[in-house]
Structure formats: C-alpha cells, structure tokens
C-alpha cells in the first residue's frame, strides 16, 4: 500500500502535481505540500484563497487534515468520519447561514 495525493485544476484540467510515498506514506505531509502548490498557483493568478475549493477523497476524512485546509483559507468538500468537526466555529458559522442556491 502507498499514498498518493494528486492536484488537478478542475476547470482547465491542469495537472498541478502529485505527491506519494512508499509504505503507508505521509498523507498529511503530502497534503501540506499540495496546499503550498495550490497557494502558489492562486497567488500567481491573483485568485483569493477564499475562492479556492478543494475536493478531498480517501484518507482525508479526519479532523487534522481538514483543519490544515481551513487554516490555509480554502473551502473544502469532503466526507468526514470525525463528528467533532461540527464543533469548529467556522463550521458552526457556515451551518447557521442560509443554503446557497
């Protein structure tokens, strides 16, 4: 088994990077490196980080990686098995708002 983190810009299909490691890998390290690449990409194109949305699959359903993304200022779509995320202030604020249509 090994881990692999792939970054693809959805609208242009630009391949921005892939990070992986042998064995169980370092998925948190891979995600942090991906955050750096995405931040650089957005900065070079004058995109506010708040307009960047990450879609995560696989290993990233725990609170720690999601907090890394939220701390970086990105939006995120993911499934999570960690219900403690519902106690985060940023999550409470979003859930209190009206749905976006």
Domain ranges for the chain: 3-96
Tell me what pLDDT residue 1 has: 54
Range of lowest pLDDT (1-5, 11-15, 27-31): 1-5
Task: Output the pTM of the full model.
Answer: 0.76
Kindly give the residue spans of alpha helices, DSSP state H, lying in the chain.
Answer: 27-44, 63-72, 89-96
DSSP 47: -
Encode pLDDT of 37-77 as tens digits.
Answer: 999 999 999 999 988 998 887 677 777 888 888 889 898 88
Tell me what pLDDT residue 64 has: 82
CA distance 48 to 92: 23
CA distance 65 to 73: 13
């Amino acid at each position: 088994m090994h881990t692999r983190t792939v970054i693809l810009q959805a609208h242009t299909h630009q391949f921005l990077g892939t990070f992986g490691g042998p064995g169980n890998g370092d998925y948190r390290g891979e995600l942090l490196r991906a955050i750096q690449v995405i931040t650089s990409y957005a900065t070079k194109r004058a995109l506010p980080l708040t307009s960047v949305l990450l879609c995560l699959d696989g290993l990233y359903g725990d609170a720690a990686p999601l907090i890394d993304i939220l701390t970086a200022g990105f939006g995120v779509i993911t499934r999570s098995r960690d219900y403690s995320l519902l106690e985060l202030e940023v999550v409470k604020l979003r859930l209190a708002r009206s749905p976006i249509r």
